[in-house]
Amino acid sequence: MNILIQNGTIITMHNRKIIRQGAIAIEDKNIIDVGKNRDLKRKYGTGYEKIDAKDKVVMPGLINTHQHAAMSLLRGYADDLPLQEWLGKWILPIEKYMTPHDIYVGALLTATESIMSGTTTVNTMYHYTREENEAKAFAETGLRGVIGHVCFSQRKKEDKTALKDLAKNWHNKAKGLIRVSVDPHSPYTVDPEYTKELKEIKEELNQKYGSEKTPIIWHTHVAETIDEQEKIRKAFKIKLKNGVMTYLDSLGVLDKHVIAAHCVALTGRDITIMKQRKVKASHNPISNLKLASGISPVPRMLRKGLTVSLGTDSPCSNNTADMFETMKATALLHKGVNKNPTLTPAKQVLAMATIEGAKALSWENEIGSIEVGKKADLAIVDFKKPHLCPLYNEISHLVYAAKSADVNTVIINGKIVMENRQPTTINIEKVMAMAEKAKNSLLERLARNIK
CA-CA-CA-CA torsion sign (220, 287, 355, 403)? positive
Nearer to a second copy, 179 or 334 (CB): 334
Binding mask 376-415 for a second copy (x = CB under 8 A): --------x-xx-xxxxx--xx--xx-xxx----------
Among 342, 448, 449, 450, binds a second copy (CB under 8 A): 342
In the complex, the smallest distance separating the C-beta of residue 3 from a second copy, rounded to whole angstroms, is 25
Q: How far apart are CA 149 and CA 202, in angstroms?
A: 12
CB of 313 to a second copy, least distance (A): 12
Q: How far apart are CA 403 and CA 348, in angstroms?
A: 18
Residue with Cβ nearer a second copy (37 or 112): 112
Asked if residues 334 and 320 have their Cβ atoms less than 8 Å apart, the reply is: no
Nearer to a second copy, 61 or 285 (CB): 285
Nearer to a second copy, 55 or 165 (CB): 55
CB count, 10 Å around CB of 185? Answer: 15
340 binds a second copy (CB under 8 A): yes
Q: Which stretch binds a second copy (CB under 8 A): 128-136, 208-216, 306-314, 334-342?
A: 334-342
Between 81 and 240, CB nearer to a second copy: 81
Q: Give the binding range for a second copy (CB under 8 A) out of 63-71, 73-81, 118-126, 357-365.
A: 73-81
Helix (H, G, I), strand (E, B) or coil at 64: strand
Rounded Cα distance between 12 and 43, Å, is 20
Residues 6+ apart with CB under 8 A from 235: 188, 189, 191
- Is 62 near a second copy (CB under 8 A)? no
Please list every residue from 89 through 128 that binds a second copy, using CB under 8 A.
109, 112-113, 116-117
Closest CA to 251 of 284, 218, 210, 298: 218
Residue 424 engages a second copy in binding (rule: CB under 8 A): no
- Between CA 300 and CA 303 the distance in angstroms is 5
Query: CA-to-CA distance for 346 and 350, rounded, in angstroms?
Result: 6
Nearest to 119 by CA among 37, 174, 63, 190: 63
CA angle (158 as vertex; 83, 224 as ends), nearest 5: 25
Considering the rule CB under 8 A, would residue 77 count as an interface residue with a second copy? yes
Can you count the helices (H) and strands (E) in the chain?
17, 17
Q: In the window 248-287, what residues touch a second copy (CB under 8 A)?
A: 286
The region of 14-22, 120-128, 195-203, 319-327 touching a second copy under the rule CB under 8 A is: 319-327
Q: Which residues form the interface with a second copy (CB under 8 A)?
A: 73, 75-77, 79-83, 86, 109, 112-113, 116-117, 286, 288-295, 315, 318-322, 325, 328-329, 331-333, 335-343, 345-346, 384, 386-387, 389-393, 396-397, 400-401, 403-405, 428, 431-432, 435-436, 438-439
